[in-house]
C-alpha cells in the first residue's frame, strides 16, 4: 500500500495542473473567508460573525465550503484522464501492478485529498471560532465538530464520482464537462421535476450535499438575541428537512460503494491503449 501511495505521490507532484488547481482551491477558500466578514458590514440587524463563533462555526463553514469538493473532483478527473493519454496505466500494468492495484492507488489518493480538505475546514473553523467567540469552554468549542466526519465522507464521495466519470469517458475535456453538467444542471433539473415527490431526497448529489446542510440560521440568530420566545415552527419550513441524518449517511455510503464497484468494473474491462 505504501508503494502504491508513493507512486501516486510522484505522479501528482510532477503534474502542473494538479499543483495549480490545489493552489486555486486554497485561494478560493481564503477569499471566501475574507469576503464573508466584508459582507457582514452590509447586513442590518444580524451579524454573520455570529456564525463564526463556537459551536456554530463548524456547521456554517462545512456548509459554505461543501461546493469546493467539486474542485477536488475535477482534480481527480484531470489526473485520471491524463494517465490514459500518457499511457501511464498501461505502463504500470506492464511493470507488474494489477488493475485492482490501480484502483486502490486512486482511492488512496482520494482519501488523502479528502483528509486534506477536512483538515483545512477543521483548522479554519477552530481559528475563526477562537477569533470571534466570546465565551469558551471545551464543550462549546467542540460542540458541533462531528460535522467534520460528514464533510470527509462528502469529499470522498465527490471525488469517487469524478473518478468514475474519468474512467468511463477517458477524455479530459469531456469528463470535466460531464461532471459539471451532472452537478450543476442535471441534479437541479431532476430536483425540480421531482420536487413534489419524496424520491427527490434520494438523488445521489442531493444526498451528498445533505451531509452538510444549511445550519438552522433562525435558531442561531434567535439565540444571539437572547429571545425567550420559541421559534415559530412555520418559519423553519423555509429550511428543507430532507431525510433523517442516519439515512442520508447510509445512502451516501451505498452510492459511494456502488461507484467504487463501477470503477473496479471499468478498470477490469478498459483497454489501456
5-24 pLDDT, tens digit per residue, is 777 777 777 777 778 878 88
Question: pLDDT at position 221, please?
Answer: 60
Distance CA 225, CA 46 (A): 9
Highest mean pLDDT (candidates 51-55, 157-161, 193-197): 157-161
Domain boundaries, the chain: 2-269
Nearest 5°: the CA angle 182, 69, 163 is 60
Quick one: DSSP state of residue 186? I
Nearest 5°: the CA angle 117, 149, 202 is 100
What one-character-per-residue DSSP string does 239-251 give?
Answer: S---S-HHHHHHH
Question: pLDDT at position 214, please?
Answer: 83
Residue of higher predicted confidence among 217 and 161: 161
List of residues 6+ apart from 38 with CB closer than 8 A = none
Half-sphere exposure of 13 (CA within 13 A, CB side): 6
- 58 pLDDT above the threshold of 80: yes
- 65 pLDDT above the threshold of 50: yes
pTM of this prediction? 0.88
In the numeric block, the cell 481564503 is attached to: 30
Distance CA 105, CA 9 (A): 10
Distance CA 226, CA 234 (A): 20
CB atoms within 10 A of CB 67: 14
Q: How far apart are the first and last CA of the chain?
A: 26
Question: pLDDT at position 63, please?
Answer: 92
Distance CA 53, CA 195 (A): 34
Distance CA 194, CA 190 (A): 6
List of residues 6+ apart from 206 with CB closer than 8 A = 187, 191, 200, 242
Q: Quick one: average pLDDT of 115-144?
A: 88
Amino acid at each position: 500500500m505504501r508503494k502504491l501511495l508513493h507512486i501516486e505521490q510522484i505522479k501528482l507532484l510532477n503534474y502542473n495542473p494538479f499543483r495549480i488547481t490545489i493552489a486555486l482551491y486554497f485561494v478560493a477558500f481564503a477569499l471566501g473567508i475574507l469576503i464573508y466578514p466584508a459582507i457582514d458590514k452590509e447586513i442590518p440587524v444580524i451579524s454573520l460573525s455570529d456564525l463564526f463563533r463556537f459551536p456554530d462555526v463548524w456547521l456554517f463553514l462545512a456548509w459554505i465550503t461543501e461546493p469546493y469538493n467539486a474542485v477536488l473532483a475535477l482534480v481527480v478527473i484531470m489526473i485520471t484522464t491524463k494517465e490514459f493519454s500518457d499511457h501511464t496505466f498501461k505502463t504500470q500494468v506492464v511493470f507488474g501492478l494489477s488493475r485492482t492495484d490501480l484502483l486502490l492507488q486512486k482511492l488512496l489518493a482520494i482519501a488523502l485529498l479528502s483528509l486534506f480538505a477536512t483538515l483545512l475546514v477543521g483548522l479554519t473553523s477552530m481559528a475563526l471560532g477562537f477569533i470571534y467567540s466570546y465565551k469558551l469552554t471545551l464543550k462549546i468549542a467542540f460542540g458541533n465538530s462531528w460535522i467534520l466526519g460528514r464533510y470527509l465522507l462528502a469529499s470522498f464521495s465527490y471525488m469517487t464520482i469524478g473518478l468514475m466519470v474519468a474512467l468511463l469517458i477517458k477524455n479530459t475535456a469531456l469528463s470535466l464537462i460531464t461532471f459539471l453538467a451532472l452537478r450543476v444542471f442535471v441534479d437541479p433539473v431532476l430536483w425540480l421535476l421531482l420536487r413534489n415527490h419524496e424520491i427527490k431526497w434520494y438523488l445521489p448529489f442531493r444526498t451528498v450535499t445533505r451531509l452538510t446542510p444549511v445550519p438552522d440560521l433562525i435558531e442561531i440568530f434567535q439565540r444571539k438575541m437572547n429571545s425567550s420566545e420559541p421559534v415559530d415552527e412555520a418559519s423553519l419550513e423555509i429550511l428543507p428537512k430532507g431525510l433523517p441524518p442516519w439515512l442520508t449517511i447510509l445512502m451516501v455510503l451505498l452510492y459511494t460503494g456502488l461507484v467504487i464497484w463501477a470503477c473496479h468494473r471499468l478498470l477490469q474491462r478498459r483497454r489501456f491503449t
